[in-house]
Amino acid sequence: MTQQESANAILVLEDGRSFSGRRFGAEGETFGEAVFVTAMSGYQETLTDPSYRRQVVIQTSPHIGNTGWNDEDDESSRIWVSGYVVRDAARVASNWRSRRSLDEELRAQGIVGISDIDTRALTRHLRERGAMRVGISSTETNPEALLQRVKEQPEMTGADLVGEVTAPEAYVVPAQGEKRFTVAAIDLGIKSMTPHRMAERGIEVHVLPATAQLDEVRAAGADGLFFSNGPGDPVTTDRSVRLLTDALDSGMPFFGICFGNQIFGRTLGFGTYKLKYGHRGINQPVLDRSTGKVEVTAHNHGFAVDAPLDRDTETKWGSARVSHVGLNDDVVEGLELRNADGELIAFSVQYHPEAAAGPHDAAYLFDRFVEVLVRAKEENA
């Protein structure tokens, strides 16, 4: 079916604003939190990122689908977004790795989308009013009726979604080359590039379900603990805060990404809050305050840590501080914890050094983790 022949569809925001467009992907009706992504490439990685669970993703880049869908770039076993919104869906997929079109993949996975929407107007609306619930339907023609159902949907604030995305069983990603360390990576919605980046550095990664506690981390023979990205509100992560507290009490090195940064923040005693519309894209500038370098980074977060930028915070493990700051809005983008000797023992970033998709400026953070593991091993030897 060509785009011209495809059926009409509607999109309705919870504040009543509506748009009409065309069905894209599966036919049907879907709901979620409306969020916009500014990346101009990497839609396959975006769609398969488990952190987008229960979110309807709007691409600000106007042409989507040009490179089709391949068998290599998935960041997990499936598409997780609850809906997909684009301006102009590519009619022809053209790439040597493409196996099928984006529309075919969305349909095969039952993902409802909409195209031919004024995504610029929609994004400006969300920037002004903030992220909100949305519905998309190719079966309903009455926006008022869809609006009623949008208002019945749960909000993202308070949402506990990790149980819907975590691995049911533990699995191992082997180290590449000589094995130097073992790390237990708690799967809160992990992207496959993350264990890959560690494996490239000689780390054997034991990916554990989100329910894992310290005895399971120990049983894996872990030299260090890692917390992944993940969907939902960080206030729902008490179980993970307990695990991280136990791990830090036992002197275990820690590294966290995104949701992992928010959980580290809570463990250090900081609060979290919801951003007006979040950071989602692959060209967000961040300052590493320890080196003064600016890096261009991949982001996907709707919540952030509330920690002071101008002073250190004393904890029972040592001194905590904000290590990275977003240069667009001064949002906390990283945290670090140093012991009484000033040595780094645990750290995290709010953004995505695994960079799938995105620039590789922040890859040094995996090397930083290796340095922390090396020192901890030397001290325990």
- The residues annotated as belonging to the active site are 258, 352, 354
- Residue indicated by tokens 């691409």: 59
Say if strands 254-257 and 132-137 run parallel, antiparallel, or are unpaired.
unpaired
Known binding residue 31? Answer is no
| Closer to ligand GLN by Cβ: residue 32 or 231 | 231
Task: Say how many residues touch ligand GLN, by CB under 6 A.
Answer: 11
Binding letters toward ligand GLN, positions 300-329, x by CB under 6 A: xxxx--------------------------
261 is in an annotated binding site: no
Q: For ligand GLN, give the closer residue by CB, 66 or 229.
A: 229
* Residues with Cβ within 8 Å of residue 76, at least 6 apart in sequence: 48, 49, 50, 165, 190, 191, 192
Torsion of CA 66, 71, 73, 77, to 10 degrees: 120
Is 366 marked within a binding site? no
Neighbours of 33 (CB within 10 A): 24
Confirm or deny that 110 is annotated as ligand binding. no
Q: Shortest gap between Cβ of 184 and ligand GLN (angstroms)? A: 18
CA-nearest of 269, 273, 186, 275 to 235 is 273
Binding mask 247-286 for ligand GLN (x = CB under 6 A): -----------xx---------------------------
What is the closest distance, in whole angstroms, from the C-beta atom of residue 205 to ligand GLN in the complex?
Answer: 18
Whether 302 has a binding-site annotation, put simply, is: yes
Q: Which is nearer to ligand GLN, 106 or 162 (CB)?
A: 162
Tell me the C-alpha distance between 287 and 150, whole Å.
38
Site string for ligand GLN, 33-52 (x = CB under 6 A): ------------------x-
- For 193, the enclosing helix (H) or strand (E) is helix 193-199
| Contact residues for 148 (Cβ-Cβ < 8 A; gap 6+) | none
- Would you say 9 or 332 has its CB closer to ligand GLN? 332
Measured CA to CA, the distance from residue 278 to residue 238 in angstroms comes to 23
Q: Which residue has the tokens 């398969």?
A: 48
300 appears as a binding residue in the annotation: yes
Whole-angstrom Cα distance, residue 172 to residue 339? 31
The answer to whether the CB of 345 falls within 8 A of the CB of 224 is: no
Q: Give the x-and-dash track for 202-231 against ligand GLN (CB under 6 A).
A: ---------------------------xxx
Nearer to ligand GLN, 146 or 349 (CB): 349
Which residues make up each annotated binding site for L-glutamine? 51, 230, 232, 259, 262, 300, 302-303
The footprint of ligand GLN (CB under 6 A) covers: 51, 229-232, 258-259, 300-303
